[in-house]
Amino acid sequence: MILNTELEYKGDLFPSNIIDYKKDVDVLHFKTANNVILQLTVLRDSVLRFRYSTVGKFNKDFSYAIDEDASRGFNHLEITEDDEKYIVTTAKLICHVYKVDLRTSILDAKDGTIICQDELGFHWEESYELGGDIVKMSKVSQTGESYYGLGDKPEHVNLKGKRFENWATDSYAFGKNTDPIYKAIPFYTGLHNNKSYGIFFDNTFRTYFDFCQERRNVTSFWASGGEMNYYFFYGPNMQDVVVSYTDLTGTPELPPLWALGYHQCKWSYYPESQVKEITQKFRDLKIPCDAIYLDIDYMEGFRCFTWSKEYFPEPKRMVKELADDGFKTVVIIDPGIKIDMEYDVFREGLEKDYFCKRADGPYMKGKVWPGECYFPDYTRPEVREWWAGLFKELVSEIGVKGVWNDMNEPAVMDVPGKSFPPDVRHDYDGNPCSHQKAHNIYGMQMARATYHGLKRFNYPKRPFVITRSAYSGTQRYTSTWMGDNVATWEHLQIANIQAQRLALSGFSFAGSDIGGFAEQPNGELYARWIQLGVFHPFCRTHSSGDHGEQEPWTFGTEITNVVRKFIELRYQLLPYLYTTFYQYHQNNVPMLKSLVLFDQEDIQTHYRTDEFIFGNQMLACPINEPNSKGRRMYIPRGEWYNYWTNDIVSGGKEMWVDADLDEMPLFVKAGAVIPKYPVQQYVGEKDIDQLTLDVYFKDGKEDSQIFEDANDGYDYTKGRYSLKKFNLAGNSDKLIIRIHKTGQFYTSYDTYKINFIGLPFEVKSIKVDNEYVDFNDVQFENNTLVVSKEFTNLQLKAD
């Protein structure tokens, strides 16, 4: 082992030997002779926090990322030492802290394998220019290690061999290698030897990650200021790592179900007559749609919280008429407030001193859509409160159901860096700082304030917010989209990667601008993108409007029919998607799973990019190329049914899958019970009088869940929900389904219609709750039956 103290490494400084150690319940303090402190907190058996100071004391501990409801507590904690090191042992981990230089190693408590090991470990460089330290960490990359996560990076799913930067940036027409882009989510997972861990570097300054790019066996991360402050999560399953990170940084409330429907957007639909034309066309063509968006042109001169008198003379009436037709209205709100003494929002912000200022006192003045603007300091609680209050009229009076926060990186036009300069001051919730520290959380705090406003004025209904910029934890308040992509085949693939990556980074409620924002897709690209988009938690077509139209009917009847078919499929799958959302909300489980997250043990999955699991039991894979009749794809291990043909295939191999323009490769896991609604033109159009369950036979066992509630409102938080667990067990002459129910919500329907798919035997007898039933009583025909939703045990047998 080389000692760091023996290294001459650029201008870097290193901790020296430990001279003091103390334990304070779950916090361990290690102090070195050169005044470095490592504060190691044991949050859970598998979650450790490492915090370093180079000056012998810590600043106030404050983070926007951490959820106040994050789990804490462990089963076991033991600290011992030998000549070389301190040894911290929990039920899951062993952490060594070396006495000579403060380096750490983390091992699996069960078998002693090394999971994550400091290379140089913590070191730093004093930055005269920036003030404070550039804090750095380097880790040994283990043999065969792969890396995932990091938010919205458009790169390959596996990050190995690449370097990234986190600095929220307005990135019009970004590409595969553009970095950084809109979001800063400094969380990644590592995987080697079938063991996965995660690291969340909770530092809001400009952060960097290098995954074996600079040096082949080293992964490092650093920041241009702030503390070396990171959380370590151990799996060994990657899904558990993601779950732990998501538990720490939080999940959203359930969205209103309509927010999981299809949304239509464009920059911009105006005037009112055009909005109506579009919504009418959806209804005429019977293409389901739940939300219509108003981009910046609905405002009077781009002044937030105003309406253009010319284009939208009576917003309240219009919003109501749209609502009567099943459309929720979502409006854009940007952070820039136009400098205009006649504009009350500006005047109030000015009078109350709510706008950001430069270091020496002038306002932070920047040009955005409205012209010269000032920008609220959303990092001040009082400003967030004010901002939330501004939604009163929009929501309570006019009836807007959702708000879209754009430009919140924050974006500024025609200036170097496309954002605020570094000297701008922020309150940072009572920890005053410069923009260098607040930049990456500015958009998050804006979305947070917006969310609170919507929640207040929409109560008892649930709010819907969408943001462009985000930092870790932003998922608690809002959904997100990937920003200004381009109408190309490569971007379809990028959208797929980004949605998977965001889900793996705790932010599941995300989707791309379907069809591409910049430029114009042709019909084929649009149809293929819709096919992908309906499997993303957020599903919206959006375009810049510069190149003509981008609606489901823009590209002729054939394309319209394909688009309708897939949007209808999304509406049928709403109860499945909603259950998936519930599992995310409740159990922190990502809604989309890259194959590596689904089956890390199978090394084939480590570099797969296109295929992903939608929820827990559906496998989707978009067609990424023109003129395709299908594609080769990897089917993960296990048995899968082709959704369109019901043919069963065994996974663990790559294969060709047919998919003409009106199909996309889609599979259902054997044993799954998939709930389905009838097609509706919008959520709530129909009373659901029967729930369809597609049951995919499996020789073996499989568990499924169905979550239901009122689809809006907060009754579910008071126990008025229904969570059903289906345990399926099948063999060559029998299929048994047991249901276990919790919660107290009474669904609108009384019966299930159950379709049995792939039954290997002819059904000769049916038992419901241990009583034989007459085939006629359950309308048994072609492996379909109708049964009371109250059943707890259903058996089909070959004799």
So which residues are the catalytic ones?
Answer: 406, 409, 484
224-283 positions binding ligand MIG, by CB under 6 A? 267
Amino acid type, 742: T
Q: How far apart are CA 476 and CA 500, in angstroms?
A: 18
Name which of 483 and 671 has its Cβ closer to ligand MIG.
Answer: 483
Name which of 196 and 268 has its Cβ closer to ligand MIG.
Answer: 268
Name which of 448 and 542 has its Cβ closer to ligand MIG.
Answer: 542
Q: How far apart are CA 677 and CA 513, in angstroms?
A: 26
* Minimum distance from residue 407 beta carbon to ligand MIG (Å): 6
Q: How far apart are CA 318 and CA 686, in angstroms?
A: 23
- What tokens appear for 692 in the block? 């369809």
Q: How far apart are CA 737 and CA 637, in angstroms?
A: 23
Name which of 483 and 590 has its Cβ closer to ligand MIG.
Answer: 483
What residues pair up with 455 in beta bridges, in sequence order?
A: none
Q: How far apart are CA 76 and CA 28, in angstroms?
A: 15
Report whether 564 contacts 551 (CB < 8 A): no
Site map (CB under 6 A) of ligand MIG, residues 318-337, x = contact = --------------x-----
Name which of 272 and 295 has its Cβ closer to ligand MIG.
Answer: 295
Among 47, 260, 296, 754, binds ligand MIG (CB under 6 A): 296
Beta-carbon neighbour count of residue 713 at 10 Å?
16
* Minimum distance from residue 480 beta carbon to ligand MIG (Å): 11
Look at residue 789 and give its three-state secondary structure: coil
Q: Which residue is nearest to ligand MIG (CB)?
A: 267
Specify the pairing of strand 371-374 against strand 337-338: antiparallel
Q: What is the enclosing helix (H) or strand (E) of 320?
A: helix 315-324
* Minimum distance from residue 498 beta carbon to ligand MIG (Å): 14
Name which of 370 and 675 has its Cβ closer to ligand MIG.
Answer: 370
Q: Using alpha carbons only, give the angle 158, 163, 169 rounded to the nearest 5 degrees.
A: 100
* Minimum distance from residue 296 beta carbon to ligand MIG (Å): 4
Backbone angles phi, psi at 124, to 5 degrees: -155, 165
Collect all residues with Cβ–Cβ distance below 8 Å to 552 and sequence separation of at least 6: 282, 285, 287, 530, 541, 559, 560, 563, 564, 567
The answer, yes or no, to whether the previous bond of 236 is cis (omega within 30 of 0) is: yes
- What tokens appear for 743 in the block? 């919660």
Distances (CA, A) of 797 to 267, 773, 788: 57, 12, 19
Amino acid type, 417: G
Name which of 407 and 778 has its Cβ closer to ligand MIG.
Answer: 407
* Minimum distance from residue 541 beta carbon to ligand MIG (Å): 12
* Minimum distance from residue 332 beta carbon to ligand MIG (Å): 6
What's the chain's length in residues?
799
Torsion sign, CA atoms 777, 779, 781, 783: negative
473-492 positions binding ligand MIG, by CB under 6 A? 483-484
- Residue 397 is classified by DSSP as I
Q: Tell which residue, 639, 644, 676, has the closest CA to residue 657.
A: 644
The CA R_g of the chain, rounded to the nearest whole Å, is: 27
* Minimum distance from residue 389 beta carbon to ligand MIG (Å): 24
Name which of 199 and 494 has its Cβ closer to ligand MIG.
Answer: 494
Residue whose tokens read 């663990």: 652
Among 179, 295, 409, 702, binds ligand MIG (CB under 6 A): 295
Report whether 501 contacts 592 (CB < 8 A): no
Q: How far apart are CA 387 and CA 449, in angstroms?
A: 6
* Minimum distance from residue 484 beta carbon to ligand MIG (Å): 5
Q: Is 409 in the site for ligand MIG (CB under 6 A)?
A: no
Collect all residues with Cβ–Cβ distance below 8 Å to 703 and sequence separation of at least 6: 725, 726, 727, 728
- CA 529 to chain CA centroid, Å, is 19
Q: How far apart are CA 488 and CA 482, in angstroms?
A: 15
Q: How far apart are CA 169 and CA 179, in angstroms?
A: 9
Burial class (CB in 10 A: 0-12, 13-18, 19+), 110: exposed
Site map (CB under 6 A) of ligand MIG, residues 533-552, x = contact = ---------x----------
Name which of 171 and 440 has its Cβ closer to ligand MIG.
Answer: 171
* Minimum distance from residue 443 beta carbon to ligand MIG (Å): 12
Q: What is the enclosing helix (H) or strand (E) of 740?
A: strand 734-742
Report whether 325 contacts 399 (CB < 8 A): no
* Minimum distance from residue 548 beta carbon to ligand MIG (Å): 15
Number of residues that bind ligand MIG (CB under 6 A): 10
Q: How far apart are CA 42 and CA 81, in angstroms?
A: 17
Name which of 409 and 709 has its Cβ closer to ligand MIG.
Answer: 409
* Minimum distance from residue 329 beta carbon to ligand MIG (Å): 16
Among 45, 202, 406, 599, binds ligand MIG (CB under 6 A): 406
Name which of 335 and 638 has its Cβ closer to ligand MIG.
Answer: 335
Residues that bind ligand MIG (CB under 6 A): 267, 295-296, 332, 406-407, 468, 483-484, 542
